[in-house]
Amino acid sequence: MPSAVLEGMKAAGIEGCHIYHAQDRLVMVIDASDGFSMASAAAINRGNAVVQQWNRRMAALLSGDDRNAPPWNEAHCIFDLERHLRP
């Protein structure tokens, strides 16, 4: 991953990240600071040519109509087993 992408992630408040690739799907799981928002991350990266190139590389892993979709969409956890196992 290019250093400019890593710097943009850090500036946006991303503290940890995993990207999973399965067939034509990408899933990014992030740990972020309390102030993180997808909108602010997008604003930070919008003018960064290196980040835009990285997003195009990631989009190449997708297929069909997904290529025209935004590269990263926010998802919300609907189940976390760990929360149910805590006393």
Q: Mind listing the pLDDT tens digit for each residue in 12-47?
A: 899 988 888 877 777 888 889 988 988 888 888 888
Query: Residue 69 and residue 81: Cα distance in Å, rounded?
Result: 30
CA angle 40–21–75, rounded 5-degree value: 40
Say yes or no to pLDDT of 75 above 70: yes
**Length reported for the chain:** 87
Q: Tell whether the model's pLDDT for residue 86 goes beyond 70.
A: no
Nearest CA to 38 out of 20, 13, 59 is that of: 13
How high is the pLDDT of residue 49? Answer: 92
pLDDT of 79:
74
